[in-house]
Amino acid sequence: MWSIRNVVVVALLLVLGHVSGQEDSLSLQLVEQPVYKVNPWLSGSIGLIGAYTNIRGIPKVKDKPKLSLEELGRITSEGVGWLNRAGLRQDPQRREQAHRISDALMYGTASLPFLLALDKTVKPAFWDISLMYIETVSVTSNLYTYSPLGPTFIDRYRPLAFYEDIDLAERQSGNQRNSFYSGHVATTAMGAFFMAKVLHDYHPEWGNKRMWLFAGAAVPTAVVGVLRLRALKHFPTDLVAGGLIGAAWGCLFRSCTAAGKTGCGFVRLC
């Protein structure tokens, strides 16, 4: 698992960490003046409160009522749309391996923004960006746990519940009601796209090449999505929704405002 994480980290650093040998005057100006202005008390408070509420909420999400034998008997592939049928054509024997690898990639990618300390342009503002990222993690995780978009309000059977050759106790678990949306994919996308957005904002001298940052961020997001499909955890639409939500918060959520502009103090779509 660690070797896979190291490969992902090195690959993304090669894509995302390339720095042009020539820095123009705008780049030098950004080193002196941070791109973001962060309120540490606000960001820190949101991060701490969000961590507490999420720790309290996740067990409740997973502790839904067990699926009865009658429920399982009513589950058929006929109720699954054509776009999601891929979730019912996986190899159950490979699900545990896919689950373990997806965990490693999710945690590894979610940790990538802390490697921004290695970028000499970003480094002077690394503390503020770290607080901003912790706040982003807090809001993204609580969106999954408490919002109407997440499994607290939406019951959708995971693909695993459809596989009759899997152990009955596992199929009956209340957690099998939590297919929509994929928290793993959302978390992966959040970390990757947050890092891409910060590098994009701090390196205008890269010009149009900065768009490759977001292409690079989509790679681990897609890989984790495929792995969660193979792990029988989610249908394709769950994965797409998780990717879009995670990427949106990774790019758009800001507890700060661009330097020199009027800010709203909490969220800025920048």
Give the domain extent around 123: 34-61+86-258
Longest pairwise C-alpha distance within the chain: 69
Domain count, the chain: 1
pLDDT at 104: 97
Q: Please determine, for residue 143, whether its predicted confidence score (pLDDT) is greater than 50.
A: yes
Lowest-confidence region among 101-105, 143-147, 230-234, 259-263: 259-263
Q: What is the mean pLDDT of residues 55-72?
A: 91
Q: What is the mean pLDDT of residues 66-93?
A: 90
Distance CA 13, CA 10 (A): 5
Structural domain contains residue 264: no
DSSP assigned state of 122: T
pLDDT band at 76 (very low <50, low <70, confident <90, very high): confident
**Alpha-carbon distances, residue 172 vs 66, 88, 126, 160 (angstroms):** 5, 17, 46, 10
For residue 20, how many other CB atoms are within 10 A of its CB? 12
Structural domain contains residue 66: no
CATH no. for residue 123?
A: 1.20.144
Place of tokens 């961020």: 217
Structural domain contains residue 219: yes
Average pLDDT over the chain reads 83
Q: pLDDT of 4-33, one tens digit each? A: 344 344 444 433 443 333 333 444 444 456
Distance CA 69, CA 210 (A): 53
For residue 207, how many other CB atoms are within 10 A of its CB? 9
Cβ atoms 234, 178 nearer than 8 A:
no
Structural domain contains residue 133: yes
Report cis status (omega within 30 of 0) of the bond before 52: no
Coil vs helix vs strand at 37:
strand
Structural domain contains residue 71: no
Bigger pLDDT: 213 or 255?
213
Structural domain contains residue 110: yes
Distance CA 107, CA 100 (A): 11
Distance CA 133, CA 124 (A): 16
Structural domain contains residue 2: no
Structural domain contains residue 132: yes
Lowest-confidence region among 14-18, 126-130, 238-242: 14-18
